[in-house]
């Protein structure tokens, strides 16, 4: 035996028979592992519950699904004549509209043909008429411009006179305004100087009067308190005598 035959020669060992074609077990490569089997055990109740719920939902919804299909089939059968009638009515109306619109379109085209020709002619003659109108109005514009020349000259003269008078007024008004302000300030200063002694005397008299009032305020309060202290019993006596006299008068009236 050569080295090549030693390398490529199959190893000796027990031979494995392939699984039969009708065997229920899957091949070894597709069988789940031990970890997958361990993890599938806790999820088995939930998967079974989910499959049961899906089966119950299909069983419950099956009658409604068949009922909905039946109702839709009946409605389609009932609506088919109306749909065909509506399509026929639409076709008839379209045919009638086409029959009526064609003569109307031809009548409109025939009646509007002169007006369209006139509009095209006026559109073509528009620039010519524009320049012709400008040429016809040119003499009148020239006459108006000539007639407005003296008016414009008089307006320019008055405008110039107004500007000159405004400038003169500004030149004259500035010193007059300054002299007026200076005179007002001088008179105000003179008034302050003349009235200064009188204001001093008035302030002095006011200060004396306020000082005397402050000095006499406490004695006056004392005198007023003494007078009110004396007058309160006299007032109470007077009110009591008046009440007794009223009682005596009432008693005399009752005796009479």
CA distance 219 to 208: 17
For residues 151-176, one letter each, b for 16 or more C-beta atoms within 10 angstroms of the residue's C-beta and e for the rest, the string is: eeeeeeeeeeeeeeeeeeeeeeeeee
**DSSP per-residue string spanning 32-50:** PPHHHHHHHHHHHHHHHHH
CA distance 173 to 181: 12
- What stretches in the chain show pLDDT beneath 50? 1-17, 19-29
Delimit the domains of the chain by residue range.
47-209+211-242
pLDDT tens digits, 29-83: 456 676 666 666 777 777 788 888 888 888 888 888 888 888 888 888 888 888 8
Handedness of CA 64, 67, 71, 76 (dihedral sign): positive
For residues 109-143, one letter each, b for 16 or more C-beta atoms within 10 angstroms of the residue's C-beta and e for the rest, the string is: eeeeeeeeeeeeeeeeeeeeeeeeeeeeeeeeeee
Cβ–Cβ < 8 Å for 27, 19: yes
**What is the CB neighbour count within 10 angstroms for residue 54?**
10
| Residues 6+ positions from 9 with CB-CB distance below 8 Å | 1
The model's pTM = 0.25
Rg (CA), the chain: 65
Cβ–Cβ < 8 Å for 19, 25: yes
Residue at token pair 């026929």: 88
């Amino acid at each position: 035996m050569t080295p090549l035959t030693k390398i490529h020669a199959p190893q000796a060992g027990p031979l494995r028979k392939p699984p039969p074609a009708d065997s229920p077990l899957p091949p070894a490569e597709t069988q789940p592992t031990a970890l997958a089997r361990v993890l599938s055990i806790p999820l088995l109740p939930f998967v079974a519950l989910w499959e049961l719920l899906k089966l119950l939902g299909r069983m419950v919804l099956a009658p409604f699904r068949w009922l909905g299909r039946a109702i839709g089939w009946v409605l389609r059968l009932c609506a088919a004549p109306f749909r065909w009638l509506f399509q026929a009515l639409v076709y008839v109306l379209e045919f009638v509209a086409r029959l009526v619109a064609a003569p109307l379109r031809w009548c409109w085209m025939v009646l509007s043909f002169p007006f369209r020709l006139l509009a095209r002619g006026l559109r073509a003659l528009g620039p010519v008429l524009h320049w012709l109108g400008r040429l016809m109005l040119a003499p009148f514009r020239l006459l108006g411009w000539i007639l407005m020349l003296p008016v414009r000259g008089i307006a320019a003269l008055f405008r110039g006179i107004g500007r000159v008078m405004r400038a003169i007024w500004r030149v004259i008004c500035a010193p007059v305004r300054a002299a007026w302000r200076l005179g007002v300030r001088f008179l105000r200063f003179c008034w302050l100087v003349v009235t200064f002694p009188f204001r001093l005397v008035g302030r002095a008299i006011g200060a004396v009067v306020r000082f005397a009032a402050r000095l006499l305020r406490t004695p006056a309060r004392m005198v007023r308190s003494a007078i009110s202290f004396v007058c309160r019993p006299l007032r109470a006596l007077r009110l009591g005598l008046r009440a007794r006299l009223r009682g005596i008068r009432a008693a005399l009236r009752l005796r009479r």
